[in-house]
Amino acid sequence: MSFDLLGNALVSGLLIGGFYAAVTIGVSISFGMLDIVNIAHPAFIILGSYIAYIANSTWGVDPILACVVMLPAFHLLGMAIYYVYDVAFERRGDTSIRGLAFFFGLLFITEVVLVLVFGVDYRLVEAPYIGPTLHIGEIDLPLRLLVPCVVSLLLIGLLQLYMSRTFIGRAVQAVAQDPTALRLMAANPSRIKRIAFGLSIATASVAGAFLIIIQPVEPSIGRDYIGRVFAICVMGGLGSFAGSVVAAMILGIVESLTATFYGPSWAPAVAFGFLLITLAARPAGIFGRQ
C-alpha cells in the first residue's frame, strides 16, 4: 500500500464527505427534526441537477448559481408537498405505511418523468473549476470536489446559524423537541413544519448542483443516495447538523478507501454496512444524545 495513494484516498474522501453532508442536511431537517421520512429526497436532488444542467447547457450559467436562484422555487415545492402530506397523512395519523408509500411514489414519478423528458443518457455541466486540480505535495485537490465541499460547509454553517438565531429557526427546533407542547402554547406546528420542510427541499436544489459538478447524472442515480443519506443521518444523531457533517466525512473516507483498495463497484455496499451496524449497535447515532 503506497502512502500517497492512501493520502489521496483520505483527502478525496473528506471532500466527498463535505458533499454528502449537503445531500444529507435536507434529510436531517425532514427526518431528524420533523419526523417525516422523506425517502424521495434524493429524487429532488436529481431534479436540482437537471435544472443546473438546463441552465448550464442553454445559457452557460454556473450550476451552483443556477440552483441558488432556484432556491425559492424548491422552497415552495417543499411547502406544497408538506401541505399534501399533512392533510392526507399526518392528520389521519397514517404516516407509517401510506405516508412512506406516498414519498416512494413521488421518488418513482420524478424518476420516470425525468427519464421520459431527458432519456437515460448521462448529463454533465461545464464550469471553470471542473477540470483543474491543485497539488499540495503528493496530495491532489481536484477543484471539482473542493468547490462543492467548501460551499456545502458554508451553507450548512449558515443553516445552523439560521436555526439557532432566528425566530423561525428556533420554532423549528421547538417542533423537533415537542410538537404537543408547542400546540399547548397555541402555536401551530403544521405551519412551522411546512416552512421547515420547504427549507429541507430547498437544500436539495443546491445539493443537486454539487452532484452534477462531481459526477455525470442520470435519472436513476438518486437511488444510490437513499442508503447513504439515511446512514449518515442516523449515524450523526437525528437532526444534529454537526453530527451529520462528521458522519458524512467518515462515510466519505471509508467509501473512498474501499473504492481505492477494493474497486469502485464495491463502494455502494459500504453505506448499507454503516447503516446496519449503526441501527443494530447504536440507533441514537454516534453523537446522539439519548
- Candidates 109, 150, 154, 168; binder of other proteins (CB under 8 A) is 109
Binding piece for other proteins, criterion CB under 8 A, among 182-190, 208-216, 249-257, 277-285: 277-285
Give dist(CA 129, CA 137) in Å, integer.
Answer: 20
Q: Which of residues 25-44 bind other proteins (CB under 8 A)?
A: 37, 39
Least distance (Å) from other proteins to the CB of residue 289? 17
Binding part of the chain for other proteins, among 63-71, 155-163, 207-215, 224-232 by CB under 8 A, reads 224-232
Q: Which is nearer to other proteins, 24 or 56 (CB)?
A: 24
The conformational region for residue 148 under phi > 0 = left, psi -120 to 50 = alpha, else beta, is alpha
Instruction: Give Cβ neighbours of residue 234 (< 8 Å, ≥ 6 apart).
Output: 275, 278, 279, 283, 285
Would you say 253 and 14 are in contact if contact means Cβ atoms under 8 Å apart? yes
Q: CA-CA-CA-CA torsion for 62, 64, 66, 71, nearest 10 degrees?
A: -170
**Cβ-proximal residues to 119 (8 Å cutoff; 6+ apart), any chain:** none
Judged by CB, which is closer to other proteins: 56, or 278?
278
Q: Which residue in 69, 115, 154, 181 binds other proteins (CB under 8 A)?
A: 115
Place of cell 497539488: 135
Q: Is the dihedral of CA 40, 41, 46, 51 positive or negative?
A: positive
Nearer to other proteins, 53 or 103 (CB): 103
List the one residue from 83, 104, 162, 287 that touches other proteins (CB under 8 A).
104
Say whether residue 122 binds other proteins (CB under 8 A).
no
Length in residues, the chain: 290
Considering only residues 42-101, where is the footprint of other proteins by CB under 8 A? 84, 88-89, 92, 94, 96-101
Residue number, 6 or 112, with CB nearest to other proteins? 112
Tell me the per-residue interface mask from 231 to 260 with other proteins, x by CB under 8 A, - otherwise: x--x--------------------------
- Its sign, for the CA torsion 96, 201, 51, 134, is negative
Q: Whole-number minimum distance, CB 133 to other proteins, in Å?
A: 29
**Separation between Cα atoms, residue 200 and residue 159, nearest integer Å:** 10
Contact 171/187 with Cβ under 8 angstroms?
A: yes
Residue with cell 435544472: 51
Binding site for other proteins (CB under 8 A): 37, 39, 84, 88-89, 92, 94, 96-102, 104-106, 108-109, 111-113, 115-116, 220, 223-224, 226-227, 230-231, 234, 263, 265-266, 268-269, 271-273, 275-276, 279-280, 283
